[in-house]
Amino acid sequence: MRVERIEIRHTKMELVSAFETSMGVEATEDHIIVRVDGDGLTGWGECAVEEFPLYSSETVQTAWSVLHDCLIPAVLGRRIERVDEAVALWSKFRGHRMAKAGLEQALWDALAKAQGLPLSKMLGGTRDRVPVGVSVGLQASPEVLVRKVAAHLEEGYRRIKIKIAPGRDLELVRAVRREFPEILFQVDANSAYDLSFTPLFRAMDDYDLLLIEQPLSHEDIYDHSKLQKELQTPICLDESIHSAADARAAVELRSCRIINIKPGRVGGFLESMAIHDFCAANGIPVWHGGMLESGIGRAGNVALASLPNFTLPGDISASRRYYKQDIVEPEFVLGPDSTMAVPTGPGIGVEVLPDRLDKVTERREEFRSS
Ligand code: SMG
Ligand code: MG
């Protein structure tokens, strides 16, 4: 296709309930939606950036600037037949992986539509339903958390992840495990600890956790190898893995036994697939993380999670768990046995609703090839 027009929008969507983690609390979610047009095709993507550099160093502002100054000029007016051609055009620009991933997704969507194929098939997906779970933020007390978990189990989620933070950890794990002895259960620290907390994590070995996600620094791989040696519970890395090279370092150092893949964090689906394949070849299970995406990003996440080595349930919940109204149709719903159906229509397989998108748009800019 010839890339004739690209539009970017800063969107702000109100969350159904505020999400608290060791990094802070958020009540609204800011992202960038990317639209690419060419040869009568339209592709959509989402940059999973946030308002502030808390989870990642990228923000709406940094991604906007890099899209505007570097990534969009690299592809606008060009003929792109395969996504790797676009990635080659912008690979000289370092970092800014969430910005790249949003534009990459829009190109994948358009190119999949050009072939009449669902994104899942383009990426090498092999399943029509993917196992999913829910990520529960920090709550006012262990009792409130237990009630919240009970409500999600009632909705049909079979895997629960809770957020932990220093001083709000073992007590929460104990409370949830006591109430629900059988559930698939894991924790996410979002980098809030250091090695001095090794005894705390060792104590978590008694609670049959599926994994402990990103206990140490967001930039660390080495200290995680020291911690993993002390634990029976697998460590799963999230923030520290930005590329297939990072995944290789983490696996060779034995810093983790499981990896969380988010296309935004690693720069897109191509890099996600490289991590997926490396992990598959090395006996490391992967699962799909979440960045509270709208239905546009979620459609991409579900497609990627249909690849064979995504064997653990993803942080991919129903649209309603995040937003009163999604900006796509059909919205994502929880299916039987805590699974979600992989869209089967061409591209991302959902329709973007223009009025809903307009309603949540804070700023918009359009680029046309001459
Ligand atoms: O999309 O369901 C979701 C959220 C999953 O916990 C989640 N994401 O570290 O894994 C993680 C966090 C990152 C976002 S917190 C602002
Ligand atoms: Mg995480």
Express each pLDDT in 339-370 by its tens digit: 999 999 999 999 999 999 999 999 999 999 98
Express each pLDDT in 255-274 by its tens digit: 999 999 999 999 999 999 99
Same domain flag for 127 and 266: yes
% of residues, the chain, pLDDT over 90: 100
Report which ligand 1 atom has the smallest distance to the Cα of 137.
Answer: 6
* Tokens found for residue 367: 């680029």
- Evaluate: CB of 22 within 6 angstroms of ligand 1: no
Helix (H) or strand (E) holding 88: helix 83-90
Cα 316 to Cα 13: distance, rounded to the nearest angstrom: 17
Same domain flag for 92 and 214: no
Backbone angles phi, psi at 113, to 5 degrees: -60, -35
Q: How far is the CA of 307 from the centre of ligand 2 (A)?
A: 20
pLDDT at 36 over 90: yes
Region 161-167: mean pLDDT is 98
The per-residue pLDDT for 370 is 81
- Evaluate: CB of 240 within 6 angstroms of ligand 1: no
Same domain flag for 280 and 148: yes
Tell me the whole-structure pTM to 2 decimals: 0.97
324 is annotated as an active-site residue: no
83: domain CATH number is 3.30.390.10
Same domain flag for 146 and 263: yes
Same domain flag for 279 and 255: yes
Find the domain containing 22 and state its range: 5-117+350-368
Q: Is 336 exposed, middle or buried (0-12, 13-18, 19+ CB in 10 A)?
A: exposed
Cα 98 to Cα 63: distance, rounded to the nearest angstrom: 7
262 is annotated as an active-site residue: yes
* Tokens found for residue 319: 């649209």
Helix (H) or strand (E) holding 121: helix 119-123
Task: Tell me how crowded residue 285 is: count the other CB atoms within 10 A of its CB.
Answer: 17
Task: Tell me how crowded residue 365 is: count the other CB atoms within 10 A of its CB.
Answer: 13
User: Mean pLDDT of all residues in the chain?
Assistant: 98
Cα 301 to Cα 290: distance, rounded to the nearest angstrom: 8
Pocket test for ligand 1, best of 291, 293, 340 (most atoms within 8 A of CB): 291
